[in-house]
Structures are given as C-alpha cells and as structure tokens.
Chain A
C-alpha cells in the first residue's frame, strides 16, 4: 500500500535503513537507532505523503525466537547475544491513509533508543509503557516512569525471561501507621493521657490562647509519620 513511501525513505536514507520489505501488505523498515529522530522528522514533515500520526509504539522481545524456514525477513530474529529487542513504530499518513512500520533493533545489555516525544507527543505514554513492560530506556523522554505497573515492581514482565507466574511482594500505600486499637474503654474509664490523647484543656485555657495563634498545636497522636516505603 505504501511501497512508494518506503522506497522514498530508502532512497533518502540509504545508510540509515538496515533492512526493509513487505509482508501481507505491511511495509516495514529496520532503521538505525541513532538516526531514528532524524528519520522521524523527515517522515513527518517532508516525506510524501507526510506521516503525521504515530499510531502505535511497542517493543518485542526476541529472546529464544525460532522462526521456521518460511520466516519472512521481517520476522527474522536477531542473532543470540546480539540484538534482542525491537522497538516498533506504526506511522499513518492521514490524508492518503498510507502506513509504515519502523523498527529499531536494540542490544540486550543496554536497550536504549532516542525518545520520539519531541516529534510526536503521543509517543509519551507508549514509551512509558515500553519502559514499564520491556525495560527499554528512551533517551530524552520527559518523564520516563512506569505506566501500568507501580514503581516498586521489580523487573519488566513482558520480557521472555520473566516467568508468567512470578509473584511480586504486595506493596500497599504507605499510610501513617494507626495507633494500636485499644477500644473505646480507655477513653471512658481512664484519663485521656492513657489513651494516647493530649490532656484535656482546662476550661478557660482556650480563651486565653486565642491571642497566640502562632503557637504550634500539640500533636494529637504521639506517632510519627512513616518515613520511606
């Protein structure tokens, strides 16, 4: 469908496109990560048709991938010990309804690629998701934190070496710990101090204190707020 656009990309950046092809009507190109932003800007602003929209961004972990002999080149796994991840971008040219798939291959030890947020702001959450689930870093991302999981989660669950049934410790919200429950009896039968409450203000003292607002209030509970998770 967008063969012409793919050819134009290859002609314009012959050294940045590592491989390209078409399968089942989807045009794809594997590009060098260090040239990605440059390519993306060209595709958005100057290519014909202009790919104005980043429809999707995701990553694939090819660890242990064994395509059969019929494997089209688009799905050939990177060699073991070399490139393990692919970051996949799906572009759409709105007026012409042309599509293009860009892929960047990344090494296992330092999966990192330039962020496309400056080109397509919509990449923001997609990149956060790829970081969350695959552990791929996006250089220059304004706010790269987990999207679906919580910060205390250990690991990146969509990696092929993350076991599906792995358990993570339950991390609850960190509240101020409550006083041990002593029931209401303390309040009824003993002096308030016994229940951990401040001593009762003698009548009339409140009126005297009206003028001294700056004085800090006595804490209602002796417990300190929790520090750290």
Chain B
C-alpha cells in the first residue's frame, strides 16, 4: 500500500483521457486526423514539504496536464493536542498554548481566550486594559496581514514585496517586544487584564513603526496592485461566491472579500471598538485579488484604530482588583497576610471558574476566533475548544483549486492564509 492508492483517498471519478475509442467507433472519431495522444490523469503530491504549502499541508492532486481535476487537502501535520493540553493545566497556564495557535498574531489569540474565561467569570476588565488590548490586537492583525500578503507575493515571484513587508513586520515585532518581552510567544494577556502596562515612549515608537509600515505599504501597493503579472495570476482565480462562503462558514477577510458583511468588531462589539472611527472592508468578487485588496485596506483601518486608541487611552489599572482572579501586587504579597494567602491560593489552586459553558468570539486576523469553554467549576478547563477561522477556509480549498491550473494553487492557498498552528492545533 502506498500513499497514492490509500483507500481513503476518494476523488470524483475523472475518466482517463486519451484511451482507445470505444469498440465499434470509427477510428479517430472526434479527433479529426490527429493521432490520439497517450495522456492520462496523473497523481501528484504537493506537500507536506513544499515551499508554497507553508510546510504543513499536503495536497493530493489529480492532474490532467496542468489542470487540477481533483484534490484532497490533508491537514494535521502540526497537530499538538492543544485541547488535551488545555484540559490538563490551569486556566492561566493556557495562555502560552494560545500563543502557538496563530503564531503570526499571538496577541489576538491571547485576547480571544481571555475574553472567554472572563465571560465565564462575569468579570469586566479595567478600561485601560481594554484600550491596550485593542491596540495590541490591531498591531497583531497588522503583522498577520503583512505576512499573508508578503508571502503570497513571494510565492508568485514578487520577492521584493515580501522583503518590504517582512521589514514592516519586523518594526511591529520589535514594538511588541518592547511591551511583551517577546516577538511571538508573548503570553501578554491575563485573565482579568494584562501582564504589564505599555512601556514609556510606546506611543512614539508605535507612530514611528506605523509610519514605516505605511511607507512600505505604499511601495508594495505600487509593486503589486497594478502589476500585470500579479493581477493576472490572482484576478478571477479561486473565486468563492457569497452563498458558498456562507454555507462553508467563512468569516474574516476572506469572507468579506466574498461579500459577507460581517465583522465581529462591529457586529458584536467588544472593548472600545464602537468608540473608534473605522470601517469594515467588504468586497464582492471573492477571488484571490479581492482577498489581497481587503487585507491591504484592513491594514489601513487597523492603523487608524491604533492611532485613535493610543490618543484616547485613559490612565488607570491594567488588571482587575479581584484577588480571586488576578495576583495581588508584589508589595502587598510581601507585606500583608491577606495578599499572601490570595497569592498562594491563585498559584496553587488556580482561578476557580464557575461551572458552565460559554462560546466567546473575537475577530482574529483570519476571521471569527471562537472559544467554546466548558468548566467543571474547578481550577482547569473541562474543555477548551478553539474554533479556528482557518478550518472553514481550508475545507473549501479543495473546491477552490479544482478546475484551475496547477500554478493557481499557489495564490489561492496563499490568499486563504492558512496558519498551521491554528489550523491543526
């Protein structure tokens, strides 16, 4: 048994081409006088180790020449058992695992999980923490979109765009590092607030990074948006209609590029998004080019949000003053017996979350990031389900590439912005 004739790979039967004409048919029927070419449908493995498959996806393709007539998308190469791990650690200890879901925008995962637990606890976080979460979340959205657009362009041969966007991303990662202490594995959010306040000078550094990002975005815009090659490779490729997108459960930039006017930040508003002036970007065509345009415009909107939020941010505490949820300040722990007991309880037993179940959702970089959390009323989750926005997108990829050419898989797959850590968990 080999991988290609694995019994579970099922394709729509495509008739082998170029077979001998059926018995009784006149020789050369339907082919004029051209001799019948000996062609056949070919199996091709794309990935899991392939530069355009982002390392972790395997596509088993049926090819007729360069045309894809059947495909089977296989995921799971990065499966780490996120849920099983989360069921075996305390509520706070889940945060590092969430960093590794969508590792290009870890802060958004932090925020999504924290919102779920806070919803179970019935905790409202301090106002300043809300503003900071918005700022850091939007910076993460920027890094995610920069990576997606840059990598897609690189896979189509636009290496300069990739380098420009990685440079912009680097500026933002450095900025995030000044605040969280890490570029990717941030673990910055806590139940009830944040681990640390913004460092001094953050607003100025942020403005500098945003200005640099804007400059590079203008460059990439000139490189790609009206680029004949880029346009021809992406426009009209991988098209998904609105109906199809709704049926498959698409959300986020890909869903909006297909015309689904839905953004959690606006439609189920959380934190301070309603107080800020920004727009939801909605497209219509639903092809790769539209997804590129939506992402580019969303970055502009994210920068608008960050700038306003940094201006309007009030002073105040960054974590709730609730000894059952958040660790008390160190000076109290060392000087008062109550704070020491609270500290001990939180470290040893963890946050006690009331029994029940919630579904909490935020707008992550790829779409609706949902956390369906079930609690037993104990110090660790009974179940911590992630609804990754990638999965509905990835489950559609097979249909998005069928009927197109083999090279079209690359921009289609790139525009879906699969992130292995989130897709496979």
Q: Which residues of A contact B (CB under 8 A)?
A: 23-26, 28, 52-56, 58, 60-61, 65-68, 70-72, 74-75, 88, 90, 94, 97, 99, 101, 120-122, 124-126, 129, 133, 143, 145-151, 157-158, 164, 173-176, 225-229
Contact = CB atoms under 8 A, between A and B. Distances in A.
Given A24-B119, A122-B249, A164-B84, 9 more contacts: A60-B374, A67-B355, A72-B355, A74-B356, A122-B395, A147-B75, A150-B76, A158-B83, A228-B1
A126 B391 contact: yes
A121 B248 contact: yes
A75 B392 contact: no
8 contacts: A25-B119, A26-B358, A67-B355, A101-B359, A121-B248, A122-B392, A147-B76, A148-B425
Contacts of B424: 148
A26 B355 contact: no
Given A94-B246, A97-B268, A125-B391, A24 B120 contact: yes
A57 B372 CA distance: 10
B247 interface: yes
A124 to B, nearest CB: 6
A116 to B, nearest CB: 11
B247 A88 contact: no
B391 A164 contact: no
Contact of A122 (B81, B247, B262, B358): B247
A125 B425 CA distance: 14
A151 B425 CA distance: 18
Nearest to B122: A24
B370 interface: yes
Given A52-B246, A70-B354, A58 B372 contact: yes
Interface stretch (B103-111, B380-388, B400-408, B410-418): B380-388
Given A23-B356, A72-B356, A148-B425, A55 B75 contact: no
Contacts of A101: 359
A201 B164 CA distance: 57
Contact of B356 (A52, A54, A71, A99): A71
A23 B358 CA distance: 8
Nearest to A151: B8
A1 B196 CA distance: 34
B204 interface: no
Contacts of A68: 354-355, 376-377
Contact of A225 (B2, B79, B88): B2
Contact of A125 (B119, B251, B355, B395): B395
B142 interface: no
Contact of B1 (A66, A133, A227): A227
Nearest to A23: B356
A31 B356 CA distance: 18
A226 B1 contact: yes
A145 B8 contact: yes
A15 to B, nearest CB: 24
Contacts of A67: 355, 376-377
Contacts of A97: 262, 267-268
Contact of A157 (B84, B246, B262): B84
Contacts of A228: 1
Given A70-B377, A94-B262, A225-B2, A120 B355 contact: no
B368 interface: yes
B212 interface: no
A23 B357 contact: yes
A220 B83 CA distance: 49
B84 A125 contact: no
Contacts of B76: 146-150
Nearest to A66: B376
Contact of A55 (B1, B3, B368, B376): B368
Nearest to B396: A122
Nearest to A88: B372
Closest 8 CB pairs of A and B: A122-B249, A148-B76, A125-B395, A68-B377, A67-B355, A122-B248, A56-B387, A71-B355
B240 interface: no
B260 interface: yes
B277 interface: no
A105 B372 CA distance: 17
Contact of B357 (A74, A145, A147, A176): A74
B33 interface: no
Contact of B81 (A99, A120, A147, A157): A157
B359 A94 contact: no
A210 to B, nearest CB: 18
Nearest to B395: A125
Nearest to A175: B2
B10 interface: yes
B88 A164 contact: yes
Contacts of B84: 157-158, 164
B394 interface: yes
A168 to B, nearest CB: 12
Contacts of B249: 53-55, 120, 122
A60 B260 contact: no
A143 B11 CA distance: 10
Contacts of A65: 376, 382
Interface string B364-377: 00001010101111
A40 to B, nearest CB: 13
A26 B119 CA distance: 10
A152 to B, nearest CB: 11
A102 to B, nearest CB: 12
A124 B395 contact: yes
A90 B359 contact: yes
A52 B10 CA distance: 29
A174 B2 contact: yes
Interface string B1-41: 11100101010000000000000000000000000000000
Interface in B205-257: 246-249, 251
